[in-house]
């Protein structure tokens, strides 16, 4: 698998893919990363108190076996969804 990476200004709901003919009818995982200037990411979990609150809330959940391959499970889920 190889990566197709590009930067663009979003001006409509559609994005043009260069070299579409080479990519047509192939499986692809599309990832869009956008810089967030609003500061919401700081509010979401930038404090130690928030982190401790989340840990306390999850404390009752069962422990996860260290031998479980989380990446393999995520990849399998991605294949099922996409």
Q: Please check whether residue 66 lies inside any domain of the structure.
A: yes
How many separate domains does the chain show? 1
Q: Please check whether residue 14 lies inside any domain of the structure.
A: no
In this predicted structure, the answer to whether residue 37 has a pLDDT above a threshold of 80 is no
pLDDT at 77: 85
Q: Please check whether residue 13 lies inside any domain of the structure.
A: no
* CA 15 remoteness from chain centre: 19
- Of 62 and 46, the structure prediction assigns the larger pLDDT to 62
Structural domain harbouring 34: 20-81
Q: Is 25 left (phi over 0), alpha (psi -120 to 50) or beta?
A: left
């Amino acid at each position: 698998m190889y990566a197709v990476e590009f930067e663009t200004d979003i001006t409509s709901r559609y994005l043009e893919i260069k070299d579409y003919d080479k990519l047509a009818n192939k499986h692809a995982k599309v990832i869009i990363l956008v810089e967030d200037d609003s500061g919401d990411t700081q509010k979401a979990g930038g404090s130690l108190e928030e982190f401790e609150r989340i840990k306390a809330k999850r404390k009752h959940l069962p422990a996860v076996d260290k031998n479980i391959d989380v990446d393999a499970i995520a990849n399998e889920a991605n294949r099922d969804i996409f």
